[in-house]
Amino acid sequence: MPDATERTILITGATDGLGRALALELASAGHELILHGRSPDKGAALLAEIRQRTGNERIGYELADFSSLKDIGSLADRVLARHDRLHVLVNNAGIGAQPERQVSQDGHELTFQVNYLATYVLSCRLAPLLVASAPARIVNVSSAGQAPVDFDDVMLERDWSGVQAYCQSKLAQISLTVDLAEHLAGTGVTVNALHPATYMPTKMVTVHPQSTVEEGVRNTARLVTGRDGAETTGRYFERGRPARAGLQSYDPEARARLRALSRTLTGVPFPATPGHG
């Protein structure tokens, strides 16, 4: 991978919590950052703070609401149009377990769209640019909270549970991680997922914190810029160590079903890369 000052890194969900702290850490190291959020005011404040604290001017902000597939696609369009290289995609944006069922602007269960479908669209759309910029990485910020996707009721219309919605979206992210790692093997792009820390004090967490944001940043940065993320692919990490994820994420048939469903819901196919269809 290029020297630190030459890396271009996209972080989704960068205006709060782990994403914000990670952006400050990486900006301090001199990386070029593309930061995503859904609030213009928060974005402006974030850019001002990072520039003031780090002196790094190589930072941009992209606006997108992940409850809209059109917005997610437009974000990918802008990144592809404005940047001729991308070394790391950090899929960090997400929402926690919701108290009641909500739907996205596209009619999908909101947690599944924000946490998983956005990860799918951006990873697939930006994969060719990552391959062209290789060595490169995709890092999916997942969770130890995982549950199999119920393919008979993916949108949980019959049996709503905020915990199930969250946990199945996170296992879907890991399934995609394994799938993309296999698909991108030999291209110079690694794909990994992690549970960065347990109950960090962020706005997503409603229970007493058990970890610090700093711990989460340290573990995430290890995959973004460290040796683990360069030499390992298709793995799930709990904090700083490789771990075993939910069984469904290793099931080729289940992953194929999820891949087909994702294409149907988003209209985005798996990425075409050299040597792959």
Whether the per-residue pLDDT at 90 is higher than 70: the answer is yes
Place of tokens 């928060």: 42
In this prediction, residue 211 has a pLDDT band, given cuts at 50, 70 and 90, of low
Q: What is the edge-to-edge ordering of all strands in the sheet holding 8-11? A: 59-63, 32-37, 8-11, 88-91, 136-141, 189-195, 235-238, 241-243
Check whether domain 4-266 has CATH 1.20.1250.20, yes or no: no
Whether 37 and 61 have beta carbons less than 8 Å apart is answered as: yes
Residues carrying an active site annotation: 166
Q: Where are the domains of the chain?
A: 4-266
pLDDT in tens, 124-154: 999 999 999 999 999 999 999 999 999 999 9
pLDDT in tens, 218-246: 999 999 999 888 989 999 999 889 999 99
What's the pTM? Answer: 0.93
In this prediction, residue 4 has a pLDDT band, given cuts at 50, 70 and 90, of very low
Whether 58 and 7 have beta carbons less than 8 Å apart is answered as: no
- Give the pLDDT mean for 103-124: 98
